Amino acid sequence: MKAMSDKFKDIDDALNINSEVVDITKNKNSQNISIDDNSNDIKKDYEYTRGNLYSIIEKGQEAINGILELAQESEMPRAYEVAGQLIKNVADATDKLMDLQKKLKDVEEEKQAKGPTTVNNALFVGSTAELAKLLKQQIPQDENL
């Protein structure tokens, strides 16, 4: 280690600092990512993307107002063409914002553990004559209620 710090002695003297060399080793097995970290990342990504889309939409609307003024003043076809493209781009950004909402909803639904669903179906195994006989027996019991 002494030889490493000798390499940087001139720099340390010139900057009037004391430095030390630190050996950094990375343990590849220490990358345990928990589910909570993943959901935090998803939430951060969602908020970041949402903020960026809002910013893009707001700036696009300002640009639309400016280019429309320019197009009206200059009456140049190219200015109107650019305005149309800009309007389309802002509309696409608003669609992406709605898609982002849908994607977050889909991710949230995947994360929620769906409990077991039980379906109880009554099944009669027998002939129609036996079913009719069973139903006739049930009718008097129901009338007594």
Q: Where are the domains of the chain?
A: 41-112
33 pLDDT band, cuts 50/70/90, is: very low
Q: 24: which residues sit within 8 A by CB, 6+ positions away?
A: none
* pLDDT of res. 24: 64
Q: What is the Cα–Cα distance from 28 to 85, expressed in whole angstroms?
A: 48
Share of the chain above pLDDT 70, in %: 75
* Average pLDDT over every residue of 9-22: 74
Secondary structure percentages of the chain, helix, strand, coil, to 5? 75, 0, 25
CATH architecture of the domain formed by 41-112: Orthogonal Bundle (1.10)
Under 8 Å between Cβ of 83 and 71:
yes
114 pLDDT band, cuts 50/70/90, is: low
Under 8 Å between Cβ of 56 and 37:
no
Mark 50-81 as b/e (b = at least 16 C-beta within 10 Å).
eeebeebbeebeebbeebbeebeeeeeeebbe
Residue 21 pLDDT more than 70?
Answer: no
Residue 134 pLDDT more than 60?
Answer: yes
Query: For 36, what's the count of Cα atoms within 13 Å in the CB-facing half-sphere?
Result: 0
* pLDDT of res. 127: 87
H-helix segments, 16-34? none
92 pLDDT band, cuts 50/70/90, is: very high
* Average pLDDT over every residue of 35-48: 78
Residue 36 pLDDT more than 90?
Answer: no
* pLDDT of res. 1: 46
* pLDDT of res. 4: 54
Whole-model pTM over 0.95: no
Residue 108 phi/psi, 5° resolution?
A: -65, -40
* Average pLDDT over every residue of 90-117: 83
